[in-house]
Structure 1
Amino acid sequence: MTTPTGSPSPEALIILKALRDAVTKNLEKKRRLGHYIVIWQDGRPVLVGEDAPKPES
């Protein structure tokens, strides 16, 4: 996989903004409903929220 250099194209910036807006909207919805979220942290998925399932020991 290669990492692009330089700045993103105008089309890529529009797509990136749409993705960020969609994620922000859905995270806010989950927060209002009291649902947990899954994020990537330290190389592994992490469940965040009061109702998140507890990890198995």
Structure 2
Amino acid sequence: MNSNKKQPSEKSLMIHAALKQAVADALDKKSRLGQYAVLWENNGMFFKGSEAPEISRK
């Protein structure tokens, strides 16, 4: 396994920032429209928002 970590290029940093902004904008829009979002965290799916359905985790 290669443990050398290179610094990301300026272009990669710009792409990363653009993607983060796009996701933030989409989540904000869903929130303002009263919609919920489906997210993935800690190896599991969860719903976020005022209209999010309740699900039981097994």
TM range (shorter): 0.7 to 0.9
**Which blocks of at least 5 consecutive residues in structure 1 are unaligned?**
none
Q: What TM-score, normalized by structure 2, do the two folds share?
A: 0.76
Q: Superposition pairs for residues 21-36 of structure 1, below 5 Å?
A: 21-36=21-36
1:52 is paired with a residue whose SS is: coil
Distance (whole Å) between structure 1 residues aligned to residue 21 and residue 29 of structure 2: 12
For residues 17-40 of structure 1, give each alpha carbon's deviation from its aligned partner in whole angstroms, at most 9, with x where no partner exists: 110110011011011001101122
After superposition, residues 4-19 of structure 1 pair within 5 angstroms as 5-19=5-19
Report how many residues are paired: 56
1:4 deviates by 7.0
Unaligned runs of 5+ in 2: none
CA RMSD of aligned residues (A): 2.2
